């Protein structure tokens, strides 16, 4: 009986941890902003305008490696995820 109670409690704790991890991941994803590239934009220009520091462009590049192969080539209409 005691083993069964311990198993149930362990399962509850595991499920609570999974739920918390899922909630945290969802919050983190929702907190990210999306920016639509305009003509004349560069990652450093976007970083300066949106993040306050042009030197933060590598953060944008890292977050969008699935969309950007070359950080010097971005295109109007591209949707980029921005860091917090």
For the chain, what are the domain ranges?
1-31, 32-84
Query: Which of the listed CATH numbers 3.40.50.720, 3.10.350.10, 3.90.1150.10, 3.30.420.40 matches domain 32-84?
Result: 3.10.350.10
DSSP 8-state class, residue 42: -
H-assigned helices in the chain: 2-31, 43-46, 57-63
The pLDDT score that the predictor gives to residue 73 is 98
- Full pLDDT tens readout for the chain, 84 residues: 888 888 989 899 888 888 887 776 766 665 579 999 999 999 999 999 999 999 999 999 999 999 999 999 999 999 999 998
pTM > 0.85: yes or no = no
Q: Are 68 and 40 in contact (CB under 8 A)?
A: no
Interatomic CA distance for residues 17 and 62, integer angstroms: 28
Instruction: Please tell me the number of Cα atoms within 13 Å of 27 on its side-chain side.
Output: 6
The pLDDT score that the predictor gives to residue 29 is 63
């Amino acid at each position: 009986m005691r083993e069964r109670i311990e198993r149930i409690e362990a399962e509850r704790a595991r499920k609570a941890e999974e739920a918390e991890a899922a909630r945290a991941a969802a919050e983190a994803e929702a907190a990210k902003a999306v920016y639509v590239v305009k003509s004349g934009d560069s990652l450093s220009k976007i970083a300066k305008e949106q993040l306050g520091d042009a030197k933060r462009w590598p953060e944008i590049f890292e977050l969008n490696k699935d969309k950007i192969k070359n950080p010097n080539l971005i295109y109007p209409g591209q949707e980029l995820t921005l860091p917090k």
